Structure 1
Amino acid sequence: MKVLHFYRTYYPDSFGGVEQVIRQMVVGTARLGVSAEVLTLTRDKSNFELEFEGHQVHRAPLNFEIASTGFSWTALSRFKELAKAADVVHYHFPWPFMDVAHFFGNIKKPSVVTYHSDIVRQKYLLKLYQPLKHCFLNDVDRIVATSPNYLATSPILERYKDKTEIITYGLDKSIYPAPSMQLLEYWRQRVGEKFFLFVGMLRYYKGLHILLEAAAGSDIPVVIVGDGPVEADLKRQAQALGLKNVHFLGALPEPDKVALLTLCYALAFPSHLRSEAFGISLLEGAMFGKPMISSEIGTGTTYINIADQTGLVVPPNDPLAFRQAMRYLVDHPAEAAQMGIKAQQRYDELFTAEQMSRNYLGLYQRVLNKR
């Protein structure tokens, strides 16, 4: 079986949560006999075809962007060509250009859409996009919601619930590089051990301004890994608050990220808007057996982090509540350790890449058989 994944960004250009999920899908289903390829856009003008972890990545040049939506004239024809050779086309929503490419290419192959998130921010452009979006979602065979929480709270998925099923994200810990003792010691000396860790892109919906306010007036160390559009604003805020206990480390290589996940005391995940549909770094925290703090925003974050079991859940956009949660975990190490154990157990039960891959293989087979 040959599957073509289509999304706007992918490795090695971008290392976000959706890219990580696609990577895990491709590698995991390959172990089950699926031959998967990825078509994506790139700003790199020198290399449009490459191999990554044993699978082919096709890259079309990015021509321009409108409201974070990438467009590529080359991708229209390239997608049509690659889809012809695929048994199943696997779309990753949202990406309005993808909808255009679907109809431009007159794609009639069995199709699956992983619905990663509602479109939350671009409300005016969303009104223009609505007709195309619904035509696209009507035309595909099956839609996948990534958690029961998101399916229950998304008005779009409610409209398509008869063709939607739930397959949660999954991660394979074995493909994460093991940090050396020297690397662990380097970070131990630099940031200590009893720190709260945030990992992810620095975007508006990640709620890092809330985390900085929570860190103010306390001595609890906070380590922030990642870069993104709001990085400069956050650093100005930290300076204005006089924060000495917050470390901005920028984007780091995978071994360094794993070293910090290994060393951290707990994971801080302050996302406060529905744009955060799941939370891959939150799931990574569970995979590494760490207690977590997240906010209740009606999405998959609270499917990963169960309040008072795997961590603490606070109201969104509430720095005081977040600070109190951090203080509770610091002051109750036995309870924090038990939450970390339960987080890892929940990961083992629900969120492995093997489970996700088997579920997607079954879905691919069903859409093929139906056709």
Structure 2
Amino acid sequence: MMKILHVYKVYLPENFTGIPRVIHTLAEGLTHKGVESHVLTLAAKGRSEPEAIGSHYAHYVRRDLHIASASLSASAFGRFRQLAKSADVIHYHLPWPLADILHLAAGRKKPSVATYHSDIVKQRLVLPIYSRLLHPFLRKVDAIVATSSNYAETSEILAKHRSRVSIIPIGIGEREEPEPNQKERWRARFGDSFFLFVGSLRYYKGLPFLIEAARRTGLPVVIAGSRDLADFDIHDVPENVHFSGEVSEEDKEALLSLCQAFVFPSHLRSEAFGVALLEAARAAKPMISCEIGTGTSFVNIAGETGLVIAPRDPEALGGAMTWLAHNPQEAQKMGANARRRFERLFRAEDMCAAYLRLYHRVVATHRQ
């Protein structure tokens, strides 16, 4: 039995987006491959005993401070030392400065993997300081993983470690077909010829550009997610833009089944991969995304699985939406291509298998 310790700042039940979803997929997906997974994470209240989540375990230490997206905990050090003793591999998920400190302080004797999910974008003022910690950490771990070749090639941080970077794309499980009554309920509300965005309404998602493109084109747009637009300079929303609110996984699949295309206007490198694009590709939908030098253009290939446009450009976004609306046969071909690319590169079992091979490799090389 191989024991893996994942280390990241948030996890279930507080957060189940992005990196926590990747950790959960790995932990559950490797259970039947002889792997026992543990997750060390921070929470509002620490717990003395681990909590079972599916077939793996989460260990919560109290979050003492949260500043500039860097959660800190004094009690993490003792719990980390305890868990690291029985771990065969420690898997760090970045960016999170405390993970770097934990490794340099108490984790260097163990085989280690660092998945570099994203550069620091919003808090760039702290990057020169953090770099003094990050680069020694990356030199010490046994393996570095990027989730796409696009990100590895454009990250200034990874450029200094490129010879040691492996590419393992994020993978997700197969979709479950929505129930007919769910589809009919959403069809009655929005029809079946809308452009769909699904995701958290964060500063880097480009929603002002999508809403402006909808205003210019008059095409129907459905935005699935919280309607809190406080981070955006949006004064009025046209009638052809509809907010569904937060949706369940089942309702998300129903909306994906009904939409004519998926639109993903993220305009900053904070959007490091775009799991929502994988979900659209899995549903055989053509996609529109922006070229920001990250994994979004690894998932969505321009002219093959959808259209890729310049960021922050409502005119280009509206033009891409109009083209897909007026060329349904080409859009359908792109959706079929997206599905084939998903099957080839982005299945959860393939991601799990790749990491398992990497775990065995770092165990062997660390001993040497």
Which TM-score applies when normalising by structure 1?
Answer: 0.93
- Deviations 1:59-97, CA, capped at 9 Å, x for gaps: 222222110111122222212211111100000010112
Structure 2 counterpart of 1:250, which letter? G
Equivalent residues in 2 for 1:111-122, closer than 5 Å: 111-122=112-123
Q: Distance in 2 between matches of 1:76 and 1:252?
A: 37
Q: Distance in 1 between matches of 2:7 and 2:287?
A: 32
Structure 1 counterpart of 2:60, which letter? R
Partner of 1:150: 151
Aligned partner of 2:329 among 316, 330, 334: 334
Structure 2 counterpart of 1:319, which letter? P
Deviation at 1:2, TM superposition (A): 0.8
Q: Distance in 1 between matches of 2:46 and 2:164?
A: 39
Q: Distance in 2 between matches of 1:48 and 1:159?
A: 40
- Deviations 1:326-345, CA, capped at 9 Å, x for gaps: 11111111111111000000
Equivalent residues in 2 for 1:1-371, closer than 5 Å: 1-43=2-44, 49-173=50-174, 176=175, 178-227=177-226, 231-234=229-232, 237=234, 240-371=235-366
Partner SS, residue 75 of structure 2: helix
- Decide whether the 8 Å contact of 2:117 with 2:272 is kept in 1: yes
Q: Distance in 1 between matches of 2:226 and 2:75?
A: 29
Deviation at 1:271, TM superposition (A): 0.8
Deviation at 1:324, TM superposition (A): 0.7
- Decide whether the 8 Å contact of 1:17 with 1:281 is kept in 2: no
- Decide whether the 8 Å contact of 2:3 with 2:36 is kept in 1: yes
The runs of 5 or more residues in structure 1 that have no matched partner are none
Instruction: Percent identity, please.
Output: 49
- Deviations 1:23-48, CA, capped at 9 Å, x for gaps: 22222222322111212122356897
Structure 1 counterpart of 2:79, which letter? R
Deviation at 1:362, TM superposition (A): 0.6
- Deviations 1:229-274, CA, capped at 9 Å, x for gaps: x63344x61xx34411222233322222222222222111101111
Partner SS, residue 226 of structure 2: coil
Partner SS, residue 307 of structure 2: strand
Deviation at 1:278, TM superposition (A): 0.9
* Of 147-156 and 9-18, the range deviating more from structure 2: 9-18
Partner SS, residue 193 of structure 1: coil
The runs of 5 or more residues in structure 2 that have no matched partner are none
- Decide whether the 8 Å contact of 1:77 with 1:105 is kept in 2: no
Deviation at 1:106, TM superposition (A): 4.3
- 1:45 to 1:6, Cα distance in 2 relative to 1, 3 A: closer
Q: Distance in 2 between matches of 1:177 and 1:337?
A: 20
Q: Distance in 2 between matches of 1:12 and 1:144?
A: 26
- Decide whether the 8 Å contact of 1:178 with 1:258 is kept in 2: yes
